[in-house]
Amino acid sequence: MTTALSVREASKIFGGQVALDHVSIDVAPGEVRALVGQNGCGKSTLIKILAGFHEPEPGTEVTVDGQELSFSDPASSEAIGLRFVHQDLGLVGNLDVVDNLAIGQGYITGITKTIRWKQERAAAHEALMALGYDINVRMPVGGLAMSERTAVAIARAMSTRGAPSKMLILDEPTANLPGPEAERLYALVRRVADSGVAVLFVSHHFDEVFEMADSVTVLRDGKHVITRPVEGLTEDELIEHVVGRKLDEYDKEGHVRAHGDVVLELKDLSGAAVQGLDLTIHAGEVVGVAGITGSGREEVAALVFGGHGHGGEVVLGGDVLPQARPDISIERGMALVPAERHANASLMAQSLRENITIVDPGRHMSLGILRRRPEKADVTVWLERLDVRPSQSEFTMAQLSGGNQQKVIIARWLRQEPKVLVLDEPTQGVDVGAKADIHRMVDEAAAQGAGVLVLSTDHEELVRVCDRVIILRRGKAVDELSGPRLTNDNITAATIGRDSSEPAA
């Protein structure tokens, strides 16, 4: 039987660094295959080879439905039946659904080259209905729910105006989706597979691996570790395959933090959604904020750091911070790791050294001259301390996986020994190993006396790292969970409207 995708001996080396090491996999038509592994394991490299972005090493062979793929040629990937939906979706928010579906493939036109809008709208509606989505195709995609935007991106990828689709490749398809919308995507993926198209999806969320996938392939350090059916596999076994060891269990009850003086006070803080938030954080304390999308949680970090004007006061170490002055927040000892890493934190074309030292460029200056050698040595210590792979100070940020990019941003701020560390979705889009590393960094920052504010939609993460968690609903703080009440279920219940003291139905 012909495979939908066959990869043989795929390898890729970047500047002496082996990113992919003789990896071979096969995926059958109609199969849903999860591709998992820690950041830097080779997942992205393999996907970019399939997409025609990277030229693999000699000896690599890839066939799609029996046809050989020409490397470093995106047109070949398209013509042979490979379809890609990347994490950022590649949609234009102010264009409607019809226009977004036409991107890359053009419009239906008549003899006079006039766009046949009626046919375009009918074709767009039909493509989305085939995926189970009844969407107003005249609506700008920026106004759609995240799952609906994902459906638009998949419908565009699956368009039959070119060669028939043989395989759909999804990169972190649920990274930005809340739970109910993620479940809609699971059903969509199953519809695609039921049509005979193979699906390969990259994910760091093991719950969706068990929910969506028929089988799973694990990569580690650029090598193939295992491919096996999901049935009969446990989450602990999958984690061990991914990281190469059993993760140490964290004893929260036996871990009590000592708290010092108050380092951060929010007094009647208000913004576009947040209303009258009062919050105090002590040195050595980790406080979380939870809330569904639209609760105000997503704007708290920018308000605290000075990214936006606000009502009320932000008091750092006894001093009221001026509004919309993040530079002064930094001077006074505040640090922010934002949720939108690429848009608001990373200098993708610059070196790791430059990304880390940008907030303190004068540390290694002497008489106006940068002392490059001690700066490199300083940065290398931080790269090794945070286990950034590869720990090469002159690599560009773009050469790193998402989890390692996040570690670089965290290194930038830990190097400053902040009084207050604000972390917005700190482990979004990172693998299970990097997630454990980042949690350890939070522990260490608190142990060294920093007050830490964590804003996250990952409730298990909040339980793991926080001393207490503030619940936001409709912009207001409605509950505070700590001690025995600080559980995943209680956070979830409180964010959607039930006080944690109420019994579950």
Percent of the chain with pLDDT over 70: 93
pTM for the full model? 0.66
Q: Where are the alpha helices (DSSP H) in 282-371?
A: 297-305, 326-332, 341-344, 352-357
| C-alpha to C-alpha distances, 118 to 92, 94, 121, 231, nearest whole angstrom | 21, 20, 5, 46
Q: What is the CATH number of domain 262-495?
A: 3.40.50.300
For residue 248, the model assigns a pLDDT of 57
Q: Before 390, cis peptide (omega within 30)?
A: yes
Distance between the two ends of the chain, CA-based, in angstroms? Answer: 50
pLDDT at 504 over 50: no
For residue 205, the model assigns a pLDDT of 74
Ordered DSSP codes for 107-159: --B-TT--B-HHHHHHHHHHHHHTTT----TTSBGGGS-HHHHHHHHHHHHT-
Residue 218's beta-bridge partner residues?
A: 36, 226
pLDDT in tens, 356-381: 999 998 899 988 898 999 999 999 99
The Cα 452–Cα 273 span in angstroms is: 22
The Cα 76–Cα 96 span in angstroms is: 29
pLDDT at 350 over 90: yes
For residue 337, the model assigns a pLDDT of 96
Domain boundaries, the chain: 5-243, 262-495
Pick the CATH number of 5-243 from 3.20.20.120, 2.30.40.10, 3.40.50.300, 3.60.15.10: 3.40.50.300
Residue 8's beta-bridge partner residues?
A: 61
Q: How distant is the alpha carbon of residue 145 from its chain centre?
A: 18
